[in-house]
Structure 1
Amino acid sequence: MFGTSGIRGRIGDEVTAELALAVGRAVGSEGHDRVVVGRDVRESGSMLVDALAAGLCECGTDVLTVGIEATPTVARAIARLEADAGIVVTASHNPATDNGMKLWNPSGKAFGPAQREAIERRVRRDEYDLAAWDGVGGRHRRDGVRDDHAKTLRKAVALERSPDVIVDLGNGAGGVTASVLDDVGCRVRTLNGQEDGSFPGRPSEPTAETLDTLSTLVERTNAELGIAHDGDADRMLAVDETGTFVPKDALLALFAREAAGDGDRVAAPVDTSLAVDDALADVGASVTRTQVGDVYVAERTTEADVVFGGEPSGAWIWPEETLCPDGPLAACKLVELVASRGPLSDLVAEIDGYPIRRTSVEVEDKAAVMAEVDDRVTERYDEIDTLDGVRVETAAGWFLLRASGTQPLIRVTAEARSESDADALFEDARSLITESIEASD
């Protein structure tokens, strides 16, 4: 039921009001007495919120609804409203046909594996603690959570000057970014600023391909950078002053290097580029690798010497602020960096880029294939990490074989410091998959 970041799927198929009702009942039955509920801009979110609230109230939970807000706005509101948990109805960067639910703790960290398993078990078994007639919860509206988030963001940055910025909201719920940057003195222009769950301006997921209009506008104006969010604004990606898309690993390296110092660690998933390791080595810091998924990155940032966490997908976590990926905070941090350090293109040029190869191989039985992969890798290599899939370190670089969490695919990634080494590692990894598929048939 849960993927790496909540529940997602096509409305009317995987995600229904019936499922939302069940999730609400399950969360209420797990002892959460007071839950904040918000949603992104998708029209289907309204019915899902109603169903969630009904399930929560039915199990004695008081529901605090906050309306359409960015995921980090809702996640931050949980502690402020003295709630036990939060649920955001969103499919994040998925297409308009989809919706889903993300579950959050008061710390801003997404529900962890044990919490998700407890919810899923109750839904699967249809086991709920329904309240008596005089014990049902109430539903209450709470306003002002966006203002609270904005106030926190303004305090989190100090600009030496005020760059011109274009913010592409992707028709999503991240409007707090534009308002805060305007408040701190930036000249802000917005793109796709009208909230619309059909995402008419561009697909919800910000990528080099979907941000072509933002890139063109930045290139043809005096803007110093462009910021882009996905539908619920937990992600933030960027283009530099020339209109060039900033590589995701480079953005991770920039944030990591700025946050870390000698002896510090930065949490990042197993598929993170060597560029991040090298950037951190320059300041005496290091990478600690996690499973793929912002919940695993967030969990690692709770360790004392981990000062930042990030995923190349565009999820950035400053643990002193919140354990939720906060796209608006990342936008403010990036503007602050440009204001103090100069052009974004120059900053990106300081980060080494290495050749990386990626593909996906369709398989019938992911578990069987990965078991064969593990056996073969153990026989042939010494430096092996099985935290999430199988990651092999060599003197030249690394490769990763990892089963998709939602599709019948094995993801193959290889990176090295030279094109030839990257090609060789990539072919080794693909050969392992081919052998393992044949052996598992």
Structure 2
Amino acid sequence: MFGTSGIRGPVGREVTGELALSVGRAVASDGYERVVVGRDVRESGALLTDALTAGLRECGADVLEIGVEATPTVARAVEYVEADAGVVVTASHNPPADNGIKLWNPSGKAFGPDQRESISARVREGDYDLQPWDALGSRRRRDGARTHHEAALREAVSIEEPLSVVVDVGNGAGSITARVLHDLGCEVRTLNGQPDGRFPGRPSEPTAETLETLATVLEGTDADVGVAHDGDADRMVAVDETGTFVPKDVLLALFAREAAGDGDRVAAPVDTSLAVDDALAAVGASLTRTRVGDVYVAERATREDVVFGGEPSGAWIWPDETLCPDGPLAACKLVELVADRGPLSSLVATVETYPIRRTSIELEDKAGVMNRVREDVGERYDDVDTLDGVRVDAGDGWFLLRASGTQPLVRVTAEARDEARAAALFEEARELVTETA
């Protein structure tokens, strides 16, 4: 039922009012007595929120509803209002036909595997603690979550030389970024600022291909930096002052290098580029790899020596601030970095990048193929990591074979410090899958 980023799928088929009701019942029955609930801008979110809160209240939980807000605003609100859990009705960067549900702890960390499985088991088994009429939970509006988030962002950065920033909200819930940057003295222009769950301005997921307008604005004006969010603003990506999209691995390297010092570690998934390893090595820090998914990065970021966590998807975590990927915080941190260190294009140029190749191979029996690949790789190679898929460190490069969590695909990734070696590793990895299939 849960993927690595919660429940997501098409409304009316996979994500229904019945499912939302069941999840609400399961959360309350699992002992979460006071629950914050918010949603993104999708119209289906209103219906799903009603069903979810009905399920929570049926099983005795009190609901604190904060309305349409960015996911990090909701996640931060759990601790702020002294709740036991938070729920966001969102499909994040998915298309408008989808919606979903994501659950949060007071620490700002998303529900982990054990918590998700406990909720899933209750839904599968219909194991709910339904309450009589005089023990139902309450439902009330709770204001102040956005104000709390805004204050935290202003305190997290110091921008002595305010910049000109363009914020592409993507018709989503991330307008908080523009407001806070304005409060910090920046000149702010917005794109796609009108909330609209159809995402008419551009697709919800911000990529080099979907941010053409933002890139054009940066190229044609004197703005210093452009930032963009997905539908619920847990992600943030950037465009430099020349209108060039900043590769996400490079952005991860910049954030990591700024956050870490000698002996520190940074958490990132197994598919993270060597560029991040090298950027950290230059400051005496190192990378600790996790499974793919922000919840796994957040879990590793709870360790004392981990000062930052990130995913090349655009999810960034500063554990001293929150364990939730916070797109508005990342935007403010990036503007602070550019204000302190100079043009973003110049910062990007300091990160050495390497050739990386990716493909997906369609396989009906992806689990069986991966089991056979795991055995085969274990016999052929010395440095093998099976934390998430199969990752082989070849010394001068690496490759990763990993089954998709949602599709009948095995994803193949290979990287090396020169083109010929990257191509060779890629072919080697691809043949491991095709020969085993």
TM-score, normalization: structure 2? 1.00
Q: Structure 1, residues 366-393: CA drift from partner, whole Å, max 9, x if none?
A: 1100011011101110000000000000
Partner of 2:3: 3
Partner of 2:112: 112
Quick one: distance in 2 between partners of 1:363 and 1:343? 45
Counterpart check, 1:128 vs 2:128: yes
Quick one: distance in 2 between partners of 1:131 and 1:348? 57
Amino acid in the other structure paired with 2:402: R
Q: Structure 1, residues 184-236: CA drift from partner, whole Å, max 9, x if none?
A: 00000000000000000000000000000000001101100100000000000
Partner of 1:154: 154
Quick one: distance in 2 between partners of 1:436 and 1:72? 42
Quick one: distance in 2 between partners of 1:304 and 1:324? 17
Counterpart check, 1:323 vs 2:323: yes
SS at match of 2:120: helix
Counterpart check, 1:433 vs 2:433: yes
State how many pairs are aligned: 437
> 1:396: how far off?
2.0
Amino acid in the other structure paired with 2:11: I
Counterpart check, 1:303 vs 2:299: no
Amino acid in the other structure paired with 2:269: P
Quick one: distance in 1 between partners of 2:292 and 2:65? 30
Partner of 1:364: 364
Worse-matched range after superposition: 125-134 or 298-307: 125-134
Aligned ranges for residues 267-278 of structure 1 at < 5 Å?
267-278=267-278
Counterpart check, 1:137 vs 2:137: yes
SS at match of 2:359: strand
Partner of 1:332: 332
Q: Structure 1, residues 350-375: CA drift from partner, whole Å, max 9, x if none?
A: 00110000000010111100011011
Quick one: distance in 2 between partners of 1:395 and 1:56? 52
Q: Structure 1, residues 171-195: CA drift from partner, whole Å, max 9, x if none?
A: 0000100000000000000000000
Amino acid in the other structure paired with 1:197: G
Partner of 1:95: 95
Partner of 2:197: 197
Partner of 1:409: 409
Q: Structure 1, residues 296-342: CA drift from partner, whole Å, max 9, x if none?
A: 00000000100000000000000000000000000000000000000
> 1:144: how far off?
1.8
Partner of 1:347: 347
TM-score, normalization: structure 1? 0.99
Partner of 1:262: 262
Quick one: distance in 1 between partners of 2:420 and 2:36? 52
SS at match of 2:133: coil
Partner of 2:172: 172
Partner of 1:206: 206
SS at match of 2:407: coil
SS at match of 1:278: helix
Quick one: distance in 1 between partners of 2:395 and 2:421? 10
> 1:395: how far off?
2.1
Quick one: distance in 2 between partners of 1:13 and 1:283? 49
Counterpart check, 1:47 vs 2:47: yes
Quick one: distance in 2 between partners of 1:77 and 1:95? 26
Q: Structure 1, residues 101-143: CA drift from partner, whole Å, max 9, x if none?
A: 0100000000000000000001011110111221110001011
> 1:15: how far off?
0.2
Quick one: distance in 1 between partners of 2:133 and 2:90? 31
Amino acid in the other structure paired with 1:219: E
SS at match of 2:2: coil
Amino acid in the other structure paired with 2:145: V
Quick one: distance in 2 between partners of 1:370 and 1:324? 31
Quick one: distance in 1 between partners of 2:407 and 2:3? 10
Q: Structure 1, residues 71-95: CA drift from partner, whole Å, max 9, x if none?
A: 0000000001110000000000000
Counterpart check, 1:381 vs 2:381: yes
| Coordinate RMSD, CA, aligned | 0.4
Quick one: distance in 1 between partners of 2:180 and 2:349? 28
Partner of 1:34: 34
The gaps in structure 1 that reach 5 residues or longer are none
Amino acid in the other structure paired with 1:159: I
Quick one: distance in 2 between partners of 1:395 and 1:320? 33
> 1:160: how far off?
2.1
Quick one: distance in 1 between partners of 2:296 and 2:173? 25
Quick one: distance in 2 between partners of 1:25 and 1:81? 21
Quick one: distance in 1 between partners of 2:113 and 2:134? 33
Quick one: distance in 1 between partners of 2:330 and 2:131? 42
SS at match of 1:165: strand
Quick one: distance in 2 between partners of 1:198 and 1:143? 26
Amino acid in the other structure paired with 2:115: Q
Quick one: distance in 1 between partners of 2:259 and 2:345? 19
SS at match of 1:400: strand
Partner of 1:392: 392
The gaps in structure 2 that reach 5 residues or longer are none
Percent pairwise identity: 75
Quick one: distance in 2 between partners of 1:3 and 1:301? 20
Partner of 2:233: 233
Runs of 4+ residues deviating >4 angstroms: none
Amino acid in the other structure paired with 1:419: E
Quick one: distance in 1 between partners of 2:395 and 2:424? 12
Quick one: distance in 2 between partners of 1:418 and 1:274? 12
